[in-house]
Amino acid sequence: MPLFPFFKKSVLPLVILLTAGYVGNYFSLPLFFGVDFLFGSIAVLIVVRLFGTLWGTIAAIIAGTYTILFWNHPYGAIIATGEALFVGLLLRRKNQNMVLLDGIYWALIGMPLVWIFYGTIMDMPAIPTSLIMLKQAVNGIFNALVSSLIITCLPIHKWVKSRKVKQALSLRQILLNLLVAFVFFFNNFADGFGKPARN
């Protein structure tokens, strides 16, 4: 595959998305005990879908450079880059649902890597490692859902002159994305109301 397989019109959106991946990690949402909710992979996965595995992996590496500076270790960046590579390769072979592929990545590869890197190499206790493992999986799947909804709901293939998205999207995938979004947000909404208020 050539490095620049797209029209000149696509260069600016690509640069914006590459920048958005880094900025999305920079403006993270602090949760607890130094654990942060990152948004960079939203842009990264959009790049994967629009421009392919190579540019998606490059986008993940660029976005991951901030986490190396922020966390003082490369493990988060390695896992995020693996996510883009895994999803991109499977999307390339067969037009499947990106959220489903991302969930498979975290279940089979991402979460075990978190345990190896954080629990074994960094020798972090089991409970914090488990929390980070769960948080990164939820974070990754959530971002995949958001990126998929952006691609589904916006005429983004027209902005970058990409036929991949137009051909890949089907009614079944759109409905599945909306169903996952409903379940995800309803579950969090219900949990928020189910918990007692804290002062």
**1: in domain:** no
**78: in domain:** yes
Report pLDDT for 106: 96
**148: in domain:** yes
**30: in domain:** yes
Q: Which residues of the chain have pLDDT under 70?
A: 1-9, 33-34, 93-95, 157-159, 161-199
pTM: 0.80
Report pLDDT for 70: 87
Report pLDDT for 199: 33
Report pLDDT for 179: 60
Beta pairing partners, 30: 36
What digits encode the pLDDT tens for the residues 43-64?
999 999 989 999 999 999 999 9
**120: in domain:** yes
Range of the domain at 65: 8-188
Total number of domains in the chain: 1
Report pLDDT for 121: 95
**54: in domain:** yes
Report pLDDT for 21: 96
**197: in domain:** no
**196: in domain:** no
Helix (H) or strand (E) holding 85: helix 75-93
Report pLDDT for 196: 41
How far is residue 75's CA from residue 123's CA, in Å, rounded to a whole number? 13
Indicate which CATH number applies to the domain containing 112: 1.10.1760.20
